[in-house]
Structure 1
Amino acid sequence: MSDQAFQLIAIAVYLCAMLAIGYFAFKRTTNIDDYMLADRGLKPGVAALSAGASDMSGWLLMGLPGAIYLNGLISAWIAIGLTIGAWLNWKFVAPRLRSYTEVAQNAITIPSFFEKRLKDNSHALRISAAVIILAFFTFYVSSGMVAAGKFFEASFGWDYFTGMFMVAGITLVYTIFGGFLGATLTDVAQGLLMFAALIAVPIVAVIQMGNLGDFSTKLTEVNPDALNLFSSFGGDANWFMAAIAIFSTAAWGLGYFGQPHILVRFMALRSPGEAKTARRIGIGWMILTAVGAIATALIGIVYFAESPLDKSSSETVFLLLSQVFFHPFVAGLVLAAVLAAIMSTMSSQLIVCSSALVEDLYNIVGRTASPKKQVNLGRLGVLIVAVVAALMALNRNSSILDLVGFAWAGFGAAFGPIVLLSLYWRKLTATGALAGMLTGAATVFIWGNIDPLTQNMYEIVPGFLLNLLVTVLVSRATFKANEVIEDEFSIMEKQVAGV
């Protein structure tokens, strides 16, 4: 049997397992709360692994190793920023959001939480938030489909569209029928697979390559700056711009506070107190997988020293090393880990889009439906978003990294400050939140499409800061005491005290 056949068998086993998990979740989904939030019943480990897997996507297994391979540890600042941002999110947002979304009339989506928290009877805040979710996530889902098509094209020589539609179809099936629970459980399996692959590849590679001391020497011979986190600081003339570049890269961490597909995992925890356990598991997973990805890239610098990979193939360093050091079937499981990263993110985003369509746009106009009909409408919402994303993905030349970075900045700048202020500031108003949210989203759209600006500073930074400024100023100007808001805020604080 050929190596490629072994690899395809491994991927087929993985894909069948994902469908089986989706069927398991389907049998346990009966109403809209089940479909959108698993009836707030996630255990800490499940929530943590699900959040990590849906967050990292293919960037962790391909993007980060490729950047480290080309540039050395200077490119690790994005991982450092993300890890810090994730820890802060679990520490300061997760317990309060879990409590407050239930206290505020059991909100099951981020847009509905904004409305119920701020008592916005106009629905303008909720509708605007839902539209922003649909706009940015459609691009995000499309980027995952593009990545899937390119993955099969590069790994097996398949036609781009064949690979894209196969992965999109399987992800769609288990998401449509399994809902949030299906997406979450598959995320756990995918997170464990990603973890195993990122730990195993560098360990086996180092063992087979020999002495670790010799490896370090060879690494610095090939690239003297490979282990230098501050290699951009080449002299007094450019230190300021280098510092700005590092800050801009690390600022990816700001995005965590506004990512709906991650925040919804906090909302689905069984209790606010379990956020602490989930944080430890999630951050532990994140640190170890990031270290594995970085170590793999550094090993690749040495292993491919005589025949270096060019820029276009640098992102395959993780896949190439797995094929060198493992049996073809095991290498196929490593390839499946890349698919796992892509599919876990897509499924989580599709569920959030579905909730925006059904819970925040359909139900808001006063239409009532039976629990079964609401679930079916949720499934229809997943299908609609997937079809639109697939049409966008027909353009195979789309830049995956640019789409992901743009969507990440959009959510971080539009929602991040509003989430934080909702949880920590009693005087936030619906008018202030709406003005700030639209300012953040507009800033990302404008800044992100002006090359001289986006090349020097990631658009999330100005978007986040302007949102924060506008929200505070407008809220101060429009604040009126509301006894219900005060009571709910106090209940939330009592529930999370000591967490």
Structure 2
Amino acid sequence: MSDSTYQLIAIAIYMLAMLGIGYVAYRRTSDLDDYMLAGRGLHPAVAALSAGAADMSGWLLMGLPGAIYASGLFEAWIAIGLTIGAWLNWKFVAPRLRAYTEVSQNAITIPSFFEKRLKDSSHLLRIAASVIILVFFTFYVSSGMVAAGKFFDSSFGWNYTTGLMLVAGVTLVYTMFGGFLGATLTDVAQGLLMFAALVTVPIVAVFAVGGLDNAFAGMREVNPDALNLFAGIGEGSALMWVVGVISTAAWGLGYFGQPHIITRFMALRSPADAKAGRRIGIGWMVLTCLGAIATALVGIGYFADNPEKQLEDPETVFLLLSQIFFHPLVAGLVLAAVLAAIMSTMSSQLVVCSSALVEDLYNLAGRRSTPKQEVMLGRLGVLVVAIIAFLLALNPDSSVLELVAFAWAGFGGAFGPLVLLSLYWRDLTAKGALAGMVLGAVTVFVWGNIESLSSTMYEIVPGFLVTLIVAVVVSKLAPEHKPEIEQEFSQMEAELGRTHAEERAAQV
């Protein structure tokens, strides 16, 4: 049996497992609240692993190792920024968002939370947020499909469209029928698979090169700055170096506004679960990022010592090392981990798009539907977005990384400040939120399409600042005092106070 046959068998097992999990979730879904938020019953470990898998995508297994292999440890600043951002998100957003979304008329989507939290009777804020979600996520899902098509093309020589159709079809089926629970449970399995692969590959690679001393020597021989996190600080302007680090680490700002991640917080069993979720989620993230970084660094020395083994694309260093060191069946499971990273993100985004279509646009228009009809509409929403994303992905020359970076900046810049202000500032108004969100999104779009600006500073930074400043200034200039907002804000803080008191009592 050939190596590729073994690998395809492993991938087939993985695909069937995902479909099986989707079927289990389908049997447990009865109404729209189940379909969109799993009935707010997620265990913190499930929420943490799901958020991590939905977050990282193929960047963790291919993009990050490739960047470090090509340029050295300096490229790890993006992982540092993301880890800090994820920790802050779990610490300061998760418990409050879980409490507030339930207090505020049981909001189950980010757009509906903005509207209900700010009592926006015009519905403009909710509609604008939904449109931003649909636009950015349709392209985001498309980028995942493009990555899947390229994966099968480069790994097995398949036709690009065939690989795209396979991954899109499997992801669509388990997401469309399993909904949020299906996406979440498959995310957990995918997150564990990614974790196992990213921990195992670098450990085996270190032994293969003769231990840590040989690995470090090989790295320094090829690139003296391979292990220098501060490479380039003495070259040129120190200010430009600092700007470069800030721009790279600023990816962490995006976490506060990513709908497919923070909806996991809304689905927790209670605000108290955020603490355990944070520990599990950040632990997973730190170990997987370290595994990706170690894989790239060891790979530098390994391929230098074995010139007969060709590495044409730095982003394939993780895949190639796994194929060299493991039995083809095991290597196939490692390849499945890459698919897991791609599919977990796609499924989470499809559910968010579906909720924007059904909960925030269809129901907002005054349509009357039964719970079963709403679930069916949710599934149709997933199908519609997936078809549009598939059509966009038929062009294999589509830029995956640029689309991902742009969408991440769009959500982080437009939604991030509003989420924080909604949770921590009583005086935020609907007008301020709408003005900030729209101008922040426009800033990201304009800045990201001007080469001289985007090459200097990642567009999420100006977008985030514009949204924050405009939202605060407009709210101050046109204040609104609504007793219902005051009451709900106080109720949210009181619930969090009880949670903290219970935690302290449990520690005594």
TM-score normalized with structure 1 length: 0.99
Where does residue 241 of structure 2 map in the other structure? 242
Where does residue 219 of structure 1 map in the other structure? 219
Distance 1:312 1:460, change over 3 A: farther
Where does residue 506 of structure 2 map in the other structure? none
Q: How much has 1:311 moved relative to structure 2?
A: 9.0
Q: How much has 1:310 moved relative to structure 2?
A: 8.9
The Cα RMSD (Å) is 1.1
Q: Distance in 1 between matches of 2:205 and 2:365?
A: 58
Where does residue 195 of structure 2 map in the other structure? 195
Residue type at the aligned position of 2:118: L
- The 8 Å contact of residues 34 and 180 in structure 2, kept in 1 or not, is answered as yes
Q: How much has 1:308 moved relative to structure 2?
A: 9.4
Q: Distance in 1 between matches of 2:258 and 2:307?
A: 40
- The 8 Å contact of residues 57 and 342 in structure 1, kept in 2 or not, is answered as yes
Distance 1:7 1:288, change over 3 A: same
SS in 1 for 2:229: coil
> What do residues 205-227 of structure 1 show as CA deviations (whole Å, max 9, x unaligned)?
11222131122122111110000
Where does residue 295 of structure 1 map in the other structure? 294
Residue 317 of structure 2 corresponds to residue 334 of structure 1: no
Distance 1:176 1:427, change over 3 A: same
SS in 1 for 2:237: helix
Identical aligned residues as a percent: 72
Q: How much has 1:84 moved relative to structure 2?
A: 0.1
1:315-464 to structure 2, matched below 5 A, reads 315-464=315-464
> What do residues 133-189 of structure 1 show as CA deviations (whole Å, max 9, x unaligned)?
000000100000000000000000000000001000000000000000000000000
Where does residue 130 of structure 1 map in the other structure? 130
Where does residue 32 of structure 2 map in the other structure? 32
Q: How much has 1:354 moved relative to structure 2?
A: 0.1
Q: How much has 1:494 moved relative to structure 2?
A: 1.2
Q: How much has 1:234 moved relative to structure 2?
A: 3.1
Q: Distance in 2 between matches of 1:234 and 1:67?
A: 21
Q: Distance in 1 between matches of 2:226 and 2:308?
A: 14
SS in 2 for 1:304: helix
- The 8 Å contact of residues 297 and 317 in structure 1, kept in 2 or not, is answered as yes
Distance 1:310 1:204, change over 3 A: closer
SS in 2 for 1:272: coil
Q: How much has 1:81 moved relative to structure 2?
A: 0.2
Q: How much has 1:312 moved relative to structure 2?
A: 6.1
Q: Distance in 1 between matches of 2:298 and 2:237?
A: 30
- The 8 Å contact of residues 98 and 266 in structure 1, kept in 2 or not, is answered as yes
Where does residue 14 of structure 1 map in the other structure? 14
Q: Distance in 1 between matches of 2:217 and 2:475?
A: 58
Q: How much has 1:264 moved relative to structure 2?
A: 0.3
- The 8 Å contact of residues 73 and 226 in structure 1, kept in 2 or not, is answered as yes
- The 8 Å contact of residues 70 and 311 in structure 1, kept in 2 or not, is answered as no
Q: How many corresponding residue pairs?
A: 498
Q: Distance in 1 between matches of 2:286 and 2:308?
A: 28
Q: How much has 1:396 moved relative to structure 2?
A: 0.7
Q: Distance in 2 between matches of 1:387 and 1:490?
A: 44
Distance 1:119 1:157, change over 3 A: same
Q: Distance in 2 between matches of 1:429 and 1:100?
A: 16
The runs of 5 or more residues in structure 1 that have no matched partner are: none
- The 8 Å contact of residues 69 and 300 in structure 1, kept in 2 or not, is answered as yes
Residue type at the aligned position of 1:223: N
Q: Distance in 1 between matches of 2:477 and 2:69?
A: 51
Where does residue 482 of structure 2 map in the other structure? 482
Distance 1:64 1:7, change over 3 A: same
Where does residue 265 of structure 1 map in the other structure? 264
- The 8 Å contact of residues 46 and 184 in structure 1, kept in 2 or not, is answered as yes
Residue 252 of structure 2 corresponds to residue 253 of structure 1: yes
Q: Distance in 2 between matches of 1:369 and 1:62?
A: 44
TM-score normalized with structure 2 length: 0.97
- The 8 Å contact of residues 11 and 336 in structure 1, kept in 2 or not, is answered as yes
